């Protein structure tokens, strides 16, 4: 019997087969979970529906996290088609590329608010709607962060501020939902070549620095993030909530 046998999981943020959300979904499936996945907008729908075949699910739902009506419809459908929810994976973020370059202080109000709404507030909105489906038997929620939430990372700018807000949200949500047996955690993953990573200028230089300086002298793999996510979402981590787990081959431990 797999670690996630009988568990019902909703995964948001799959864009392609290299997405960390997709790798996490694969690990959940391999351990017996029933999946539902989402897409954002018509442009991504065909690609995500194709990926759904490999994830053995027909529950593929549209969700623009900036639209309350989309979130309401998403969880109404999940409740109807799955009969409840045990796992929520939030891998959603976006910032205008112009807001990632240059000086952080030059970010526009519109770009700042957009990044915060999509990358941080969306977890709160989704958790609020998911919680009633988890309260009977408890559940686990997971989001994805990055070291730029803690330290200044060149060309990360407004996304670093967004991830800081996201990590704070994890702690507040864990406190709110803990009495219902619902756990909320985050993974602060080292850089991986994903679609979103392409928006960060000089991304390859970040990879090179980590492989040169991190204790393990290499970069992480998407599979390592998937394995860590499986741990945090499974009952193996039943005593862990409100945490940000670094999966970055130790880079966050290095000073000068």
Residues designated catalytic: 146, 156
Contact of 13 with 36, CB cutoff 8 Å:
no
Using CB atoms within 10 Å of the CB of residue 135, give its burial: 0 to 12 exposed, 13 to 18 middle, 19+ buried: middle
Asked if 9 and 226 count as a contact pair (C-beta separation under 8 A), the reply is: no
Phi, psi of 85 (to 5 degrees): -155, 140
**Per-residue buried b or exposed e for 194-229, using 16+ beta carbons within 10 Å of the residue's own CB:** bebbebbeeeeebbeebeeebeeeebbebebbbebb
- Per the CB < 8 A criterion, the answer to whether 189 and 250 are in contact is no
Residues 6 or more apart in contact with residue 243 via CB below 8 angstroms: 170, 185, 186
Cβ neighbours of 16 (radius 10 Å): 14
- Give strand pairing partners of 39: 62
């Amino acid at each position: 019997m797999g670690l996630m046998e009988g568990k019902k999981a909703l995964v948001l943020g799959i864009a392609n087969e290299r997405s960390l959300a997709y790798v996490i979904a694969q690990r959940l499936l391999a351990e017996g979970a029933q999946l539902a996945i989402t897409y954002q907008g018509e442009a991504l729908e065909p690609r995500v529906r194709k990926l759904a075949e490999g994830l053995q699910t027909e529950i593929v739902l549209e969700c623009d996290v900036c639209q309350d009506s989309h979130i309401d419809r998403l969880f109404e459908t999940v409740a109807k088609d799955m009969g409840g929810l045990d796992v929520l994976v939030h891998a959603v973020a976006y910032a205008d590329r112009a807001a990632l370059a240059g000086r952080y202080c030059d970010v526009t109000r519109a770009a700042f608010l957009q990044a915060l709404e999509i990358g941080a507030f969306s977890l709160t909105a989704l958790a609020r709607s998911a919680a009633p489906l988890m309260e009977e038997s408890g559940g686990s929620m997971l989001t994805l962060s990055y070291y730029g939430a803690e330290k200044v990372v060149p060309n990360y700018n407004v996304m670093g501020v967004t991830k800081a807000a996201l990590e704070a949200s994890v702690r507040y949500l864990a406190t709110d939902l803990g009495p219902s047996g619902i756990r909320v955690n985050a993974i602060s993953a080292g850089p991986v070549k994903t679609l979103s990573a392409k928006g960060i200028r000089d991304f390859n230089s970040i990879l090179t620095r980590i492989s040169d300086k991190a204790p393990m002298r290499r970069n992480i793999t998407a599979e390592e993030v998937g394995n860590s996510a499986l741990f945090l979402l499974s009952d193996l981590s039943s005593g862990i909530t409100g945490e940000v787990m670094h999966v970055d081959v130790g880079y966050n431990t290095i000073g000068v």
